[in-house]
Amino acid sequence: MIFENFEKLTNDRMVKALIGMSRQKFDDLVPVFTSAESSIQQERLQNKVIKRLPSGGHQGILNTPQKRLFFVLYYLKTYPTFDVLGFHFGLRAGHAHDFIETYLQVLERALNTLTVLPPRHFKDVADFTQAVEHYDEVMIDGVEMPCVRPRDPDQQKDRYSGKKKRHTVKALMLSNSIKQILYLSPLSGGHHHDYALFKACFDPQLAWFFTITLRADLGFYGAAKDYGCLSDIRLPHKKPRKSKNNPVPELTPTQKQANRDQAAIRVVVEHAIAGLKRFYCLTHPIRNHSLTLIDRFFGVCAGLWNLKIA
């Protein structure tokens, strides 16, 4: 099986190409993954979802925690179809799908145990302030990924981006200066503008950015005005509109330099987005139709990126 060949690898570059992390990170994650799987089974037993814990009998192909962790990381990194995934691991496509849904939850629990999963929502301003209290400034940007065209007409309208006539899903991401992902918003359809999502996640009536500087691009134009004097929001200068009095609108040299300085600071959020896209499940058009599963892709890949740079 493919796992046996993986165990024999001595080239760490090849290991990263298969699972998106080094061998040392993988070995360190195995006991946390095992503990998370055990705790989920205990919860299922207490909630009477199962009558007893698995103890004997046929163990199947994925009979060790190492194989199960490799299975889910290999899927996230390479993103094969379930037919191809099943072929590599000696499973049917339906079983491969079911195992992915199961072990993604286990991996999410393990990453949460390691405190590398970014929060997906904030209860209030105090909760947000506590999450970013160690940083002087944060950067924000939208993350948009292509997906298959939904069959439902309402979903088609919600996910139609207009960019290259594609259907997409998107989320907002907050990053600090060391490329760590501090926040990832719930998923939304690509039809929604970044700034509309921003206002939905961060109520303009509250002083979210009173103690911290927020840097954004022109997709969030108007934020400095809408969020008032109680927020420190830095945006680039926007070129003035063309008019009769100003037929060739241009920014001043001072404004151009300020925009370059802003871009040089804010580029770290682009690097954090690139960290997500190390996993091909968020690079190739997303074939999965379940929004819950896609949302878990985003959260787990953000946690794996934070784990990499931790």
Q: Residue 101: which residues within 8 A CB-CB, separation 6 or more?
A: 293
Q: Please give the mean pLDDT across all residues of the chain.
A: 91
With cut-offs at 50, 70 and 90, classify the pLDDT of residue 46: confident
Same domain, 149 and 273: yes
- Compute the average pLDDT of residues 176-195: 93
Q: Residue 94: which residues within 8 A CB-CB, separation 6 or more?
A: 82
Same domain, 59 and 147: no
If one counts the domains in the chain, the total is: 2
Same domain, 154 and 295: yes
- Nearest residue to 91 via CA among 57, 122, 61: 61
CA distance 268 to 57: 50
Whole-number percent of the chain with pLDDT over 70: 99
Same domain, 175 and 247: yes
| Cβ contact 131:206 at 8 Å | no
* The pLDDT value given to residue 202: 93
Q: Residue 243: which residues within 8 A CB-CB, separation 6 or more?
A: 249
- Compute the average pLDDT of residues 127-145: 92
Tell whether the model's pLDDT for residue 1 goes beyond 80.
no
| Residue 119 belongs to some domain of the structure | no
| Inter-CA distances, 134 with 121, 128, 130, 179, 182, Å | 19, 12, 8, 14, 11
* The pLDDT value given to residue 107: 97
Whole-number percent of the chain with pLDDT over 90: 70
Which residue segment(s) compose the domain that 206 sits in? 125-309
Tell whether the model's pLDDT for residue 44 goes beyond 90.
no
| Inter-CA distances, 263 with 78, 155, 183, 217, 221, Å | 32, 34, 20, 8, 15
Beta bridge partners of 233: 214
Q: Residue 46: which residues within 8 A CB-CB, separation 6 or more?
A: none
* The pLDDT value given to residue 47: 85
Same domain, 232 and 182: yes
At 174 the three-state DSSP class reads: strand
For 267-280, the DSSP string reads: HHHHHHHHHHTTSG
Residue 19: CA count within 13 A, CB half-sphere: 25
Q: What is the CATH number of the domain that holds 290?
A: 3.30.420
**pLDDT tens per residue, range 90-115:** 999 999 999 999 999 999 999 999 99
Same domain, 26 and 49: yes
| Residue 118 belongs to some domain of the structure | no
| Residue 120 belongs to some domain of the structure | no
pTM of the predicted structure, to 2 decimals: 0.91
Give, for 105, the enclosing helix (H) or strand (E).
helix 93-113
- Compute the average pLDDT of residues 257-271: 93
Tell whether the model's pLDDT for residue 128 goes beyond 90.
yes
Residue at a domain's end among 113, 143, 175 = 113
